[in-house]
């Protein structure tokens, strides 16, 4: 059983109060719109004081959708694999 997540870090998140569509996108979104939306979301994440906690949470779950800790789904999958390789090498 997975430990219950601590949500306290979310109180300090730069995205707090932002429209969730910015981070998760609407259904049927086309690639050009997605790129623009993700860039805006990542700009907010870039200045976030809890970016690391957010990314660690999303990778540990793993969250399948959205921008978390400044990374989209594909980027998080790559980061998850990188962390697993590093842990296995240790």
The reply to whether 45 sits in an annotated binding site is yes
The reply to whether 54 sits in an annotated binding site is yes
Q: Residue 51: which residues within 8 A CB-CB, separation 6 or more?
A: 14, 45, 69, 70
Q: Known binding site for [4Fe-4S] cluster: residues? A: 15, 45, 48, 54
Binding-site annotation, residues = 15, 45, 48, 54
């Amino acid at each position: 059983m997975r430990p219950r997540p601590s949500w306290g870090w979310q109180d300090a998140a730069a995205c707090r109060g932002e429209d969730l569509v910015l981070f998760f996108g609407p259904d049927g979104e086309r690639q050009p719109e997605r790129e623009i939306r993700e860039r805006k979301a990542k700009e907010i994440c870039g200045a976030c004081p809890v970016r690391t906690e957010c990314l660690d949470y999303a990778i540990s779950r793993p969250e399948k959708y959205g921008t978390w800790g400044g990374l989209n789904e594909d980027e998080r999958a790559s980061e998850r694999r990188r962390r697993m390789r590093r842990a296995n090498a240790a």
